Chain A
Amino acid sequence: MVRLEPRRQHSQSMVYLSPVLAILMTLVVGGIIFAFMGKNPLDALYTFFILPINNSYGLSELFVKATPLVIIAVGLAMGFRANVWNIGAEGQLTMGAIFGGGLALYFYDSESVFLLPAMFVLGALGGAFWGAIPALLRTRFNANEILTSLMLTYVATLFLSFLVHGPWRNPEGFNFPESRPFPDAGLLPVIYDGTRVHLGTAVAVLVVIAGWLLLSKSVIGFQLRVVGKAPQAARHVGFRQKRMIWFTLLLSGGLAGLAGLFEVAGPIGQLQPSISPGYGFTAIIVAFLGRLHPVGILFGGLIMALTYLGGELAQITLGLPNAVTGLFQGILLFFLLACDVLTKYRVRFGSIAAKGRTA
């Protein structure tokens, strides 16, 4: 019989080992799934995880895809630590794109150097605004932020759809549901010639560093760490939960909004009905994969970005449906959560009777 025995302290090595273990187990299960679909598992895994990044352009695309994931996940992780479950980052991303992108469309013939910084600010504000609604509803009316933030995601997506089908549709655009292209002054500069790696990628690195400093050096970062580890102690010391809810939802909303703006002002260059392949949801997995720590999230973001690239490539070369990406992401999160048990518990084999000495 297999039993779980609580550890006195969380195992530090397991904190780092369990994501690695989860990734390995996902690869094994992935191989089995590929075999079921009639593909050679090793070939398919190679196509999925190695081929996309064995050239410099592919590697650069990895950074492009990881950028929004990392930015969003750093914000979400702060909330998850304090048991604030913002799962509406996809909606906050959309609102950031609408607010910041709206400015670019209003000044569509602008050449001002101030346009882009102003779009940054509005993008972050748009996301923070959309995150503020669940914060208000939770602190003032006790409404569950999981459900409200998710419902608002549908509202934001529909609102964007309305804008690009209606008032913001490109008047010179043959009736396609998309906005005017942003002016050059409203586009993120590419920071590495010949690729799509843009200024947002550099910002993502800054966000990681800032998140790390916030978590390790600031008072609120200390509170976040304590609340996650010992919620009761935190309550006794008198940490104000409402402040924590506001802080984490505004921060994660603002970062998601910024990430959304980077998508439309970077790789996309205009507003469209669909501006994200679910970055806001995948970022939840990134946050867990990165152990809710900004530096871990940097690695987690790169790994999850790879599943997007691999999914695209597998679709083209192996004829696999794009949904394989989502499947891999879900399985990885399952294994991650399952492996987490190893940080808190020791797995013991043998019956209870045989282990009399601990009784």
Chain B
Amino acid sequence: MEWIVPFFLTVITASTPLLLAATGELVTEKSGVLNLGVEGMMLVGAIAGFAVTASSGSAGLGIIAAVIAGTLMSLIFAFLTLTLMANQVATGLALTIFGVGFSALVGSGFVGFAIDPLPGLSIPGISAIPIIGPILFGQDFLVYLSIVAVIGVGWFLARSRAGLVLKAVGDSHHSAHAIGYSVIKIRYLATMFGGAMAGLGGAYLSLSYTPMWAENMTAGRGWIALALVVFATWRPGRLVAGAYMFGLISVMQLHAQGAGIHVPSQFMSMLPYLATVIVLVIISSDRAKIRLNAPACIGQAFRAAQ
């Protein structure tokens, strides 16, 4: 049974960056904005977090830097799409292309650096309980934050007044504007939250998952996070299930060989991407469900009539 603890630990580590980024994107999309730049924001968050941690020695500062970097990236997107009304799909792609290049440029000075991984928050006594202790009580700060954030977002969207306003803006921007809400301002805030969370997701990769920097180290996780939001039909509860399912799929490669399964590694590496396609097909084919849950104004530019 000694495989249980390491197995669950790898699943949690693989799921956390997806959950962080997807939670942010869910809020962004609920406000009616489709930001396809998650991959780029994660990469810039990853290098910002790593560079600051490596230079200052403080992981706390690194995490803050990642949040700021992700937010700044989302502000570029917000300015182009919300203020200048540029096409959201094209701008999101641009954000990813830019993020890949920018992170690689900044990161070229940090290749080969080593940092200590984020420390687990151990609680004396409890963390020592066999199996449950290390899995539930020995994780690092960002793992707990990912859970707290998704619960918080769930409460925010379902119970808070501000959450209702945000959903109203995403479902009918003209009505929300007519009632007197500032559509653009709310969308700016929701987009910035998405950027901050994507930055955190990236920081988790470079500070905890593999405490180092490598070009393109997100390897499509930003895109998988986007697919997860669809998979969850824009509901935070299902986001957790989806993120952990994908975490499980992506670590199968690590454990398959130990279990004596010999499939070429490339085919194992394909699994998360193939699973994303299959999941999208299954969820999207239920058109009624998508129509019921998707923000009605997603991807549409808004311009107040004057």
Tell me which residues across on chain A come within 8 A of B90, comparing CB atoms.
80, 284, 288, 333, 337
A146 in contact (CB, < 8 A)? yes
B274 to chain A, nearest CB (A): 6
**Chain B hits for A142, CB < 8 A:** 284-285, 287, 290
Does A151 interact with chain B (Cβ within 8 Å)? yes
CA distance A80 to B220 in the complex (A): 22
CA distance A253 to B147 in the complex (A): 40
Q: Are B86 and A338 in contact, CB atoms less than 8 angstroms apart?
A: yes
Tell me if B84 and A338 are in contact (CB < 8 A).
Answer: yes
Which segment, of A40-48, A67-75, A158-166, faces chain B?
A158-166
Q: Which B residues lie within 8 Å of A148 (CB)? A: 277, 280-281
Question: Restricting to B64-91, which residues have a CB under 8 Å from any CB of A?
Answer: 76, 80, 84-87, 89-91
Residues on A with C-beta less than 8 A from B36 are 146
B73 to chain A: closest CB distance in Å?
Answer: 11
Bits for A98-125, please: 1 = Cβ < 8 Å to B, else 0.
0000000000000000000000000000
- Residues B94 and A150 in contact, CB atoms below 8 Å apart: no
Q: What are the interface flags for B102-138 relative to A under an 8 Å C-beta threshold, 1 for contact and 0 otherwise? A: 1111011000000000000000000000000000000
Chain A residue contacts of B97, Cβ below 8 A? 281, 284-285, 326, 329-330, 333
Q: Which of B14-22, B53-61, B261-269 contacts A (4 or more CB under 8 A)?
A: B261-269
Please report the total number of A residues contacting B with Cβ < 8 Å.
50
Which chain A residue has the least Cβ–Cβ distance from B103? A323
Q: Does A24 contact B (CB under 8 A)?
A: no
Given that A142-B287, A146-B36 are contacting pairs, would A162 and B89 also be in contact in the complex, using a CB cutoff of 8 Å?
Answer: no
Set of chain B residues within 8 Å of A191, measured between Cβ atoms: none
Could you tell me if B104 and A321 are in contact, using CB atoms closer than 8 angstroms?
yes
CA gap between A161 and B284 in the complex, in Å: 31
B273 touches A154 (CB 8 A): yes
In the bound complex, residues from chain B placing their C-beta under 8 Å from that of A159 are 266, 270
- Cα distance, A326 to B95, chains bound together (Å): 11
Q: How many A-B residue pairs have CB under 8 A?
A: 144
B35-51 near A? 1/0 per residue, CB < 8 Å? 01000100000000000
* A137 contacts the other chain (CB 8 A): yes
Assembled-state Cα–Cα distance A147/B102 (Å): 23
Q: Does B211 contact A (CB under 8 A)?
A: no
| CB atoms of A323 and B267 under 8 A apart | no
Chain B interface SS verdict (over half): helix
B101 contacts partner chain A, Cβ-Cβ < 8 Å: yes
Q: How far is the CA of A143 from the CA of B197 in the complex (A)?
A: 25
Note all chain B residues with C-beta closer than 8 A to A165: 264, 266
CB proximity of A160 to chain B, nearest CB, Å: 9
Q: In the bound complex, do residue A144 and residue B104 qualify as a contact, i.e. CB atoms below 8 Å apart?
A: no
Which residue on chain B has the smallest CB distance to residue A3?
B306
List residues of A (52-105) whose CB comes within 8 Å of B's CBs. 80, 85, 87
Give, as a whole number of angstroms, the nearest-CB distance from B52 to chain A.
Answer: 17
Q: Which of B172-180, B223-231, B235-243 contacts A (4 or more CB under 8 A)?
A: B223-231
Residues of B within 8 A of A338 (CB): 80, 84, 86
Complex contacts, A162 vs chain B, CB 8 Å? 264, 266-267
Our pick among B94, B107, B277, B306 for the contact of A337 (Cβ within 8 Å) is B94
| Residues of chain B from 127 to 174 with CB closer than 8 A to chain A in the complex | none
- B98 at the binding interface (Cβ < 8 Å): yes
- Find out whether the CB atom of A327 lies under 8 angstroms from the CB atom of B280: no
Q: A137-B281, A326-B104, A330-B102 are in contact. Are A337 and B264 (CB under 8 A)?
A: no
Instruction: State the CA gap A161–B230 with chains docked (Å).
Output: 30
Q: Is the beta-carbon distance between B284 and A141 smaller than 8 angstroms?
A: yes
Residue in A146, A330, A344 with the greatest tally of chain B CB atoms within 10 Å: A330
Min CB distance A75 to B, Å, is 16
Report chain A residues within 8 Å CB of B290: 142
In the complex, per-residue mask of A251-284: 1 if CB is within 8 Å of any chain B CB, else 0: 0000000000000000000000000000001001
A161 engages B85 (CB within 8 Å): no
CA A286 to CA B104, docked complex, whole Å: 22
- Residues from 264 to 318 in A contacting B, C-beta threshold 8 Å: 281, 284-285, 288
CA distance A329 to B96 in the complex (A): 11
A184 within 8 Å of B (CB atoms): no
Q: Is the CB of A284 within 8 A of B93?
A: yes
Let me know if A331 is at the binding interface, CB within 8 A.
Answer: yes
Chain B residues with CB under 8 Å of A152's CB are 273, 277
- Residue-wise, chain A 160-185 has the 8 Å CB interface mask toward B (1 for contact) of 01100110000000000000000000
Over the window 272-289 of chain B, the binary record of Cβ atoms lying under 8 Å from chain A Cβ atoms (1 yes, 0 no) is 011011001100110100
Q: A327-B101, A333-B93, A338-B86 are in contact. Are A151 and B274 (CB under 8 A)?
A: yes
In the complex the two chains form, what is the Cα distance from A345 to B269 in whole Å? 47
**Interface assignment of B100: CB less than 8 Å from any CB of chain A:** yes
A76 to chain B, nearest CB (A): 11
Point out the residues of chain A lying under 8 angstroms from B100, CB to CB. 323, 326, 330
User: In the bound complex, do residue A323 and residue B280 qualify as a contact, i.e. CB atoms below 8 Å apart?
Assistant: no
Flag if A341 contacts B86 (CB, 8 Å): yes
B266 touches A158 (CB 8 A): yes
Question: What are 11 A-B interface contacts by the 8 Å CB criterion?
Answer: A141-B284, A143-B281, A148-B281, A158-B266, A284-B90, A321-B108, A330-B95, A333-B94, A337-B80, A338-B86, A344-B85
7 closest pairs, A vs B, by CB?
Answer: A330-B98, A326-B101, A323-B104, A327-B101, A321-B108, A162-B266, A333-B94
